[in-house]
Structure 1
């Protein structure tokens, strides 16, 4: 639009929408106030200080392409001045979170000192203000003391800080954006338009609805609180061209469309089920792929397998908030720091129909049955329950999404195989290398962990041989390798890219050979794919 006003226009399919908290990308462990407090205090503020102590060290490290994803800040054009400004702003405005992080650590120290089996009730009177009313002090069956959080109340505490939330809009994807875990998103004049609104604000749904229907851009800008000086940049996010729209499934069967990573859309007669939506945009400079413009106007069910940021994407979910009818999530254990409730988070951020499933629970919705199967591995051997291997039955077909699971004990699936029926397609991740456990969970731990143990308990999925054994035990008729994080438009989110020499891709070839020896097809999903399964008559 080049800054010119249009009375009526669509939000461009190339417009990127990034949710930020204190200018850091809103991964789930930052979006939850209590874990966000620990991440801000123990990951992000130290990272800013490390950079300012030696900007050259960070720049030299990132000059090596293989260091993309390492814990070094890429400040871009903002440089040290921008990082210093962010640190100053964070220390000035982030006190509710920083105080909560300090108070959590103080409370855990107190519990280690006094939690020897005696009653813990006397500690409540000395709880710091930031934790009053939102925690319960408990023992486990080994008589070890710990803290349980009332998560729905945590979102009502001062540490929720809706004023620190920003939706940052870009005209198109920046393929050079730094890794979101290591670098903040600094407002350094690269064409960003920042909406300083809480993620739960209903007016944002009007912006996202403009993907499908034209809006009065100037009127919307006023409703979003965009200053006159920023209006020209906001107008450039819109286009007079109508969106291409969703292509209906007219095959009569169950159609699968692969949107990248772990995002799979199933369509049976117009009834749609989508897994782990982390969706890219048009005009990103990469090979043609399904993008947010290719989604249907209404998605009947979204199924989220677990709460890692490449599977639980607030960036995508917020844009689809009013297009999703039902979201299915795994049930958490209830209040531990590592096992945050996905339901509580989604409801806080404005989602209205969220269904939790515990292991082996099923939801019948329309023509689909969704079952939560046990999910082994990939979570550093922490006691995390908010994870599931979704099994979707649709059109008489069975689709299992074993995403990042590691079948360390495949007997689990022997016990459930008779109940879940035929597996027509097994989707499985071969992220067999993985990051050390502390890379993700370090800020949440009571005490530091040795590098050796962190690596041993790395965040890894399956190798080829166990994946093939799992497929054989399930009688899977087709295997798809996915969720490797190698789509080029996701590099800033996953820290990965397509490398034929990477162990994950080598394992994919090994799996193809192993399965082929049994007469079963196995293929790697990459960039885009589409398949159709004829309906099976259930009678």
Structure 2
């Protein structure tokens, strides 16, 4: 068995010594034929060339929990005077190159120059729309934050940014940021790859951020599966005050269902977590799949209405939206 150069072991219930996997799920690798079938049969809905937003200018620090949507999976979380950013992506494209690949239709909800000093980066996995080396380099040069990430992603970051401070951990590993804030790496149903030879050689996951009186959940990228992992998170960690859940990049379902939740499944995640409220992320910024730009928001409202849930409990927020506890 070929050695995994990103993570050498040991074998666990989700690592076979060479590749990571989703235990007990139907997540499978897509073949080249699957990708060709998708491209051949795809009927993508149109997207606008640009969507204007109202950017936010956050405070330098915040005592109470505050969440500001930057766009896609990038969120600024401020709690107990700690500034945390998830999957930071301020680049114009979600791509390994600057001249091709998915391009922004809306600017970041916080301009980089308005971003306060970042203490912690939560990096969910290594796909280019989540692990953006250009943005990480800017943050390391400016703020030298601690980067917390699932196993194997540290090698990618350190190879590109040797000065980066990176803590890599497994699912359910905790890390104390300071006396007031803890971060736990959590399971997700997804996969990883940045090239042709590294499929599932680095782990993927979500995060829980806990401080006195607050629990914030960031799912990263995930499918729903049978919902077991979300009920387990609820059982072990409690009810989140707010859950940041992906609602986009879900069509066509035959291709995306094993790795991306659709809006209805995102509502099920919220219910399994028993989250007080949720905010939809991972939609409306980069065109990654076949649904239209605003279809996730429309489908989310329909799913909430069908289950007699108030629409204000789960918002598909545009970049620049701010949620604050209280």
> Given the two structures, how large is their TM-score scaled by the length of structure 1?
0.43
Relative distance call for 1:495 and 1:396 in structure 2 (3 A) is same
For residues 274 and 147 of structure 2, what CA distance do their matches in structure 1 show?
Answer: 29
Mapped pair 1:368 → 2:162: no
Mapped pair 1:291 → 2:102: no
Q: Does structure 1 retain, via aligned residues, the 8 Å contact 2:87–2:122?
A: yes
Q: Aligned with 1:461: secondary structure?
A: coil
Q: Does structure 2 retain, via aligned residues, the 8 Å contact 1:511–1:522?
A: no
Q: Of the candidates 273, 276, 285, which is equivalent to residue 474 of structure 1?
A: 273
Give the equivalent residue in structure 2 for 1:330: 150
Give the equivalent residue in structure 2 for 1:523: 315
Q: Of the candidates 393, 412, 421, which is equivalent to residue 229 of structure 2?
A: 412
Give the equivalent residue in structure 2 for 1:50: none
Q: Of the candidates 375, 395, 399, which is equivalent to residue 216 of structure 2?
A: 399
For residues 159 and 7 of structure 2, what CA distance do their matches in structure 1 show?
Answer: 8
Give the equivalent residue in structure 1 for 2:239: 422
Q: Of the candidates 127, 149, 152, which is equivalent to residue 308 of structure 1?
A: 127
Alpha-carbon displacement from aligned partner over 1:471-511 (angstroms, at most 9, x marks no partner): 12211010111111x22xx56xx5789633x4x34322224
Q: Does structure 2 retain, via aligned residues, the 8 Å contact 1:405–1:429?
A: yes
For residues 498 and 466 of structure 1, what CA distance do their matches in structure 2 show?
Answer: 18
Q: Does structure 1 retain, via aligned residues, the 8 Å contact 2:245–2:281?
A: yes
For residues 287 and 352 of structure 1, what CA distance do their matches in structure 2 show?
Answer: 26
Give the equivalent residue in structure 1 for 2:293: 499
Q: Of the candidates 137, 140, 159, which is equivalent to residue 348 of structure 1?
A: 159
For residues 268 and 414 of structure 1, what CA distance do their matches in structure 2 show?
Answer: 25
**Deviation at 1:423?**
0.6
Give the equivalent residue in structure 1 for 2:79: 268
Q: Does structure 2 retain, via aligned residues, the 8 Å contact 1:434–1:459?
A: no
Q: Does structure 2 retain, via aligned residues, the 8 Å contact 1:274–1:301?
A: yes
Give the equivalent residue in structure 2 for 1:74: none
Alpha-carbon displacement from aligned partner over 1:224-279 (angstroms, at most 9, x marks no partner): xxxxxxxxxxxxxxxxxxxxx863245x4111111111111111243111111112
**Deviation at 1:396?**
2.0
Q: Aligned with 2:208: secondary structure?
A: strand
For residues 77 and 245 of structure 2, what CA distance do their matches in structure 1 show?
Answer: 16
**Deviation at 1:294?**
1.6
Q: Where do 1:161-200 residues align within 5 Å?
A: none
Q: Does structure 2 retain, via aligned residues, the 8 Å contact 1:249–1:255?
A: no
Give the equivalent residue in structure 2 for 1:148: 3
Relative contact order, higher structure (CA 8 A, sep 6+): 2
Q: Aligned with 1:148: secondary structure?
A: coil
| Number of residue pairs aligned between Structure 1 and Structure 2 | 260
Q: Does structure 2 retain, via aligned residues, the 8 Å contact 1:256–1:532?
A: yes
Q: Aligned with 1:510: secondary structure?
A: helix
Alpha-carbon displacement from aligned partner over 1:431-450 (angstroms, at most 9, x marks no partner): 353579xxxxxxxxxxxxxx
Give the equivalent residue in structure 1 for 2:138: 319
For residues 152 and 397 of structure 1, what CA distance do their matches in structure 2 show?
Answer: 33
Q: Does structure 2 retain, via aligned residues, the 8 Å contact 1:376–1:408?
A: yes
For residues 152 and 288 of structure 1, what CA distance do their matches in structure 2 show?
Answer: 33
Q: Does structure 2 retain, via aligned residues, the 8 Å contact 1:429–1:483?
A: yes
Q: Does structure 1 retain, via aligned residues, the 8 Å contact 2:252–2:290?
A: no
Alpha-carbon displacement from aligned partner over 1:329-357 (angstroms, at most 9, x marks no partner): 101xxxxxxxxx31012112223321112
**Deviation at 1:427?**
1.1
Q: Does structure 1 retain, via aligned residues, the 8 Å contact 2:74–2:86?
A: yes
Q: Aligned with 1:320: secondary structure?
A: helix
* RMSD of equivalent CA atoms: 3.3
Q: Aligned with 1:517: secondary structure?
A: coil
**Deviation at 1:286?**
5.7
Relative distance call for 1:518 and 1:458 in structure 2 (3 A) is closer
Q: Aligned with 2:300: secondary structure?
A: helix
**Deviation at 1:372?**
1.2
Give the equivalent residue in structure 2 for 1:6: none
Q: Aligned with 2:322: secondary structure?
A: strand
**Deviation at 1:404?**
2.3
**Deviation at 1:280?**
5.5
